[in-house]
Amino acid sequence: MVVWSFTPPTEKPEEPILIWARKNPSLGTGLCEELKRRGLDVTLLIDSLPRAEFARRLGESDIFVALPYERESCYLPALEGMASRCAVICSGVVGTWSYAIHGQTCLMPEFDHFDSHLAMIEQLLTDRELRGKIRQHGFEMAQSFSLETERAHFYRFLEKFILR
């Protein structure tokens, strides 16, 4: 699982929200409608995009709301959001356990729960310190999934189990 193509821009805009709802369009649509009703800058993505376009959208966003299935083998969009220095909101599903730490690398609302997701978005909007902390710790976590790190793990595996 490598997130090498997702790098943060030198400057990030403050407070634009990106919702990736391909796997849960009804929740994403509801959140988007409520946030727009409040006058917030929010973009909803439901359809698949080319990776470069998705990376560009992440780079233009401050807060990234990722809506996975309840069971995932590995849910990359949230990790890609972290690599792009977004403050990430993503439910703690099986596919996020290797990198998602509530209050550190992301905020983790209850799965498929509108009010829980909305409360966490509001929390990041009102608490700049928390938003910065989540953004920084998420970015640091994403670096442990870089191509170089993955290569080093592979070489250690080869040395330990194959080249003995």
- Quick check: is 157 in a domain? yes
Residue 134 lies in a domain: yes
14: amino acid identity, one letter: E
What CATH number is associated with residue 156? 3.40.50.2000
- The answer to the question of residue 145 being in a domain is yes
157 — pLDDT class (breaks 50, 70, 90): confident
pTM, rounded to two decimals: 0.86
Residue 37 lies in a domain: yes
Specify if 90 maps to a domain: yes
Note the pLDDT tens digit of each residue in 41-86.
999 999 999 988 999 999 999 999 999 999 888 889 999 999 999 9
pLDDT at 141: 93
Say whether 55 sits in a helix, a strand or coil: helix
Residue 140 lies inside a defined structural domain of this protein: yes
What are 75-126's pLDDT values in tens digits? Answer: 899 999 999 999 999 998 888 888 999 999 999 999 999 999 999 999 999 9
User: Which among 85, 69, 102 has a CA at the least distance from the CA of 16?
Assistant: 85
Residue 36 contacts by C-beta under 8 Å, 6 or more apart in sequence? 42
Whether 8 maps to a domain, the answer reads no
* DSSP per-residue letters across 72-102: -S--HHHHHHHHTTPEEEE---GGGTTT--B
Q: What is the mean pLDDT of residues 154-160?
A: 78
Q: What is the pLDDT of residue 41?
A: 95
Q: Is the pLDDT of residue 10 over 70?
A: no
Name the residue range of residue 99's domain: 17-162
Q: Number of folded domains in the chain?
A: 1
Residue 10 forms part of a structural domain: no
